[in-house]
């Protein structure tokens, strides 16, 4: 057989399909994760198991290790800030009917909640770190969420709860308010919360007025978030 001694310009290497975390549609159809119609981020924790490399390969072995607990209450507190709305408030209003701003990172909370849900359901079971482009299953899952799931949900509503504490009775200071998941009750629902979202629904600002005078009361607060599929 005659040789032409022309070297190939390209080489072809087999790679794992998990190197690409963007779902591609095709004429014959494509795989897509089945997702819920709505997501309520409340105070119910999600529990899952994985090995020390953050992989989910063998549940029997991994269940002997300490469980991983995702606490949405901790996550919501970490991704929100409560501050006094200083603009257009007089000294009198600051001491009496203080206006507060609650800023929430919706995208991060939703991402973290979906991540824990996928882990709990072992959606990526059998995939090891070396089967991903960044040698990290966790990074690959986050990429999958960002590329394929986030844009399928939209913020739908917030339910906020609030109770007051007398500064003369409780061991708290003026303007020192407490994140308290245990106050969830219809009787503690906050009315009059005004909300605005960013153009892409990634963040939310809730504004409300403290009805009890700040000079004598602090408050406990908590909120749940609802996202619906679009």
Q: Structural domain boundaries of the chain?
A: 36-229
What pLDDT sits at residue 27? Answer: 46
CA-to-CA distance for 127 and 183, rounded, in angstroms? 41
For the entire predicted model, the pTM comes to 0.87
- pLDDT above 90 coverage of the chain, percent: 73
What pLDDT sits at residue 211? Answer: 93
Share the mean pLDDT of the chain.
90
CB contact set of 10 (below 8 Å; sequence gap of 6+): none
Q: What are phi and psi of 116, to 5 degrees?
A: -65, -35
**Chain segment 120-158, per-residue pLDDT in tens:** 999 999 999 999 988 999 999 999 999 999 999 999 999
Rg of the chain taking only CA atoms, in angstroms = 24
CB contact set of 213 (below 8 Å; sequence gap of 6+): 95, 96, 97
Low-confidence ranges of the chain (pLDDT < 70): 1-21, 23-32
Asked if 154 and 201 count as a contact pair (C-beta separation under 8 A), the reply is yes
Q: What angle do CA 5, 9, 13 make, to 5 degrees?
A: 115
What pLDDT sits at residue 165? Answer: 93
CA-to-CA distance for 14 and 37, rounded, in angstroms? 37
């Amino acid at each position: 057989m005659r040789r032409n001694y022309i070297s190939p310009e390209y080489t072809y290497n087999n790679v794992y399909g998990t190197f690409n975390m963007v779902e591609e549609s095709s004429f014959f159809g494509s795989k897509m994760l089945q997702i819920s119609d709505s997501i309520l981020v409340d105070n119910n924790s999600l529990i899952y198991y994985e090995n020390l490399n953050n992989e989910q390969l063998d549940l029997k072995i991994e269940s002997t290790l300490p469980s991983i607990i995702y606490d949405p209450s901790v996550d919501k507190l970490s991704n929100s800030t409560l501050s006094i709305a200083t603009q257009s408030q007089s000294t009198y209003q600051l001491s009496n009917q203080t206006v507060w701003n609650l800023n929430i990172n919706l995208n991060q909370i939703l991402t973290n909640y979906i991540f824990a849900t996928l882990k709990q359901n072992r959606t990526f079971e059998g995939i090891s770190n070396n089967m991903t482009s960044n040698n990290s299953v966790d990074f690959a899952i986050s990429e999958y969420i960002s590329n394929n799931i986030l844009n399928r949900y939209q913020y739908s509503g917030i339910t906020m709860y609030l109770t007051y504490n007398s500064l003369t009775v409780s061991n708290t200071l003026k303007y020192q308010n407490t994140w308290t998941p245990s106050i969830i009750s219809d009787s503690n629902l906050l009315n009059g919360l005004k909300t605005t979202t960013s153009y892409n629904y990634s963040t939310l600002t809730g504004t409300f007025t403290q009805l009890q005078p700040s000079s004598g009361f602090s408050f406990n607060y908590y909120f749940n978030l609802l996202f619906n599929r679009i």
